[in-house]
Chains A and B, each alone.
Chain A
Amino acid sequence: MERAQGLIVNMQRILVALSLIAASTTALGAEPAAQSSDPDAPAASAAGAPVASDIEQVKKSLLELKRDLVILEEDLLFPASSQLAVFLSMDVGDFFQLDSVTVEIDGEQVAHHLYTERQADALYRGGVQKLYVGNVKQGAHRLTAFFTGRGPSGRDYRRAATVEVDKSFDPAYVELAIKDSSAKYQPEFVASVSD
């Protein structure tokens, strides 16, 4: 009987130890590298075990191939003599929450973009979106961008900005900028041709 009791005690110890080991290993043993969805915090998420060097070499070669392909694609599909690219930037954006942008060239809609929260945030933080790239004939063109969103006090807001583009042999770049006018407490929408 005593032997039996001793066995039970031993087994109980084993069992308790097993559950303790399981719990403590999972909970305390691992020291996680910080992983973050915050794009401003990229290092910690990459702080795990190093990626093997062979995969780094493969990645680099692949990126170089993709780079050359992008350049080829642009040269083929959007040659300089007809290329027109439209960029969108936002400076501050306290007075305007962007929902969508529509771009028209000579009255014809060529691009429409509906913004996710993350995309709008990327613009707010200083990113510049390549909104449209296409081909136009050489000569004068009128580009109009329509911005919709929420203005001051959360009201629906829709404004347009227009710019004349004189397309030459060189590629043309138009920047659409959303700016805050602190004097007017209103957003400003500017379209201009980049050098």
Chain B
Amino acid sequence: MSAAAATAVQVDDDLWAAIGDPTRRRLLDLLIGQGEGTATTLGRQLPVTRQAVAKHLAVLDRVGLVRATPAGREKRYRVDDVQLARAVATLSSVGSSWDARLQRIKRIAEAIQRNQESDRQSDQRQ
């Protein structure tokens, strides 16, 4: 694997670790729905402490899924649409890789079936 590919994989690894946690996915859902939030406003809506929310937001910030701007003593977070779109596209590629495999399974099985049928027909003619 080239150095560039290895770096891309490392970035994705962090991205999936970030999105793999249910609390962080819930935070993303809240931020998408509300446009923005702070550890305090988001913490009120989740069964975890404000400190825990702040840590989760920092993880999301590190992989670029959210962007922070200073808001008094806190930070205000928004979703990074580009990075989120990229994450969603990669997730759907897991599904599309199975779509491609199943299409190949279908073609191979149907070719075998047609072959057997044409073999039978030529046997009957003989």
Q: Do these two chains really belong together in a complex?
A: no
Q: List residues of A whose CB falls within 8 A of some B CB.
A: none
Q: List residues of B whose CB falls within 8 A of some A CB.
A: none
